């Protein structure tokens, strides 16, 4: 079997006596649409930060494409091909959608910054193509401040893609979105090329089951199960992990995810 794109081995993060992430082993093949789920406090955000390099591991190793990146900073990992969108927006509100994407591309490829009009035009063309990919070509010249919440999340995906990632990590991309906006987001993530491996941390299980080809369930910092969406859906252990967390069941009606209309 080929080497996973992302490989975690014995990854742990402790806060004093609390094992927020506890000896996690995980291999995510290239091209996956992988979801990390689990009840509140399961360790999802902490694990996300250990992958991006926003937080150092207490022990264990993180490898990307077979290279150990455990000791690398967040910026160094970004240069190796890890891009992320965060729960809290990092967009420039007074700049247009296009300018946000251009700035991200320039930050990532400082060498491509150019005063030559032909090169500037090529950069704008690349940025417009990305905006078309995320369904925002009509909004290129609109200031981000004038966009809806859902559209801003779409810009964040375009900004992350401007860094030409091998691994795109999305932290709760559907938070605060309407069902229609969530469906659009799922559609655009499904349409990304296989060269971009996607990992999402997401509470909205309709989004998870519409998108994910594989799912890891975290509980109390440990991997409870990694499997197909069907294996996760039908697991008694997963249902039990969600009991007592405010959700009576993994699915609110106990039958399955609500239908998410993905166009």
Ligand X SMILES: Nc1ncnc2c1ncn2[C@@H]1O[C@H](COP(=O)(O)OP(=O)(O)OP(=O)(O)O)[C@@H](O)[C@H]1O
The contact set with ligand X (CB under 6 A) reads 15, 18, 20, 38, 40-46
CA–CA distance, 256 with 250 (Å, rounded to integer): 8
Based on CB atoms, which residue is closest to ligand X, 18 or 243? 18
Sequence-ordered strand ranges (E) for the chain: 6-15, 18-28, 33-37, 59-64, 67-68, 82-85, 167-171, 197-201, 214-219, 222-227
Shortest Å, Cβ 28 to ligand X = 18
The maximal CA–CA distance of the chain, rounded, in angstroms, is: 61
Q: How far is the CB of 39 from ligand X (least distance, A)?
A: 7
CB-nearer residue toward ligand X: 151 or 156: 156
CB of 66 to ligand X, least distance (A): 27
Q: For residue 138, give the 3-state DSSP assignment.
A: helix
Q: How far is CA 100 from CA 7, 82, 250, in A?
A: 31, 19, 37
What are the angstrom distances between the C-alpha of 25 and each of 9, 112, 199? 5, 38, 15
Nearer Cβ to ligand X, position 47 or 97? 47
CA dihedral 48, 50, 53, 56 (to 10 degrees): 150
Closer by beta carbon to ligand X, 16 or else 111: 16
Least distance between ligand X and beta carbon 70 (Å): 18
**Pairing, β 197-201 against β 167-171:** parallel
Contact (CB, 8 A) for 48 and 37: no
Q: How far is the CB of 113 from ligand X (least distance, A)?
A: 36
Q: Which is nearer to ligand X, 135 or 221 (CB)?
A: 221
How many Cβ atoms from other residues are within 10 Å of residue 253's Cβ? Answer: 9
Q: How far is the CB of 164 from ligand X (least distance, A)?
A: 27
Nearer to ligand X, 45 or 182 (CB): 45
């Amino acid at each position: 079997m080929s080497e996973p794109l992302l490989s975690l081995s014995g990854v742990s993060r402790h806060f004093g006596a609390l094992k927020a992430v506890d000896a996690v082993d995980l291999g995510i093949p290239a091209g996956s649409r992988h979801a990390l789920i689990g009840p509140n406090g399961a360790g999802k955000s902490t694990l996300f930060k250990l992958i991006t390099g926003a937080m150092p591991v207490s022990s264990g190793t993180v490898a990307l494409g077979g290279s150990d990146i455990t000791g690398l900073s967040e910026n160094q990992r970004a240069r190796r091909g890890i891009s992320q969108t965060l729960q809290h927006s990092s967009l420039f509100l007074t700049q247009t959608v296009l300018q946000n994407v251009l700035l991200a591309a320039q930050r990532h490829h400082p060498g491509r910054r150019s005063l030559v009009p032909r090169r500037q035009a090529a950069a704008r063309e690349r940025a417009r193509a990305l905006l078309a990919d995320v369904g925002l070509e009509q909004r290129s010249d609109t200031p981000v401040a004038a966009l809806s919440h859902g559209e801003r999340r779409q810009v964040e995906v375009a900004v992350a893609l401007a860094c030409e990632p091998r691994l795109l990590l999305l932290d709760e991309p559907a938070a605060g979105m309407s069902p229609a906006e969530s469906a659009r987001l799922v559609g655009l993530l499904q349409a990304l090329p296989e060269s971009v491996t996607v990992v999402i941390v997401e509470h909205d299980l309709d989004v998870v089951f519409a998108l994910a080809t594989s799912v890891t369930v975290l509980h109390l910092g440990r991997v409870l199960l990694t499997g197909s969406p069907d294996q996760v859906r039908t697991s008694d252990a997963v249902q039990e992990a969600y009991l007592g967390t405010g959700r009576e069941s993994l699915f609110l009606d106990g039958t399955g995810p609500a239908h998410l209309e993905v166009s």
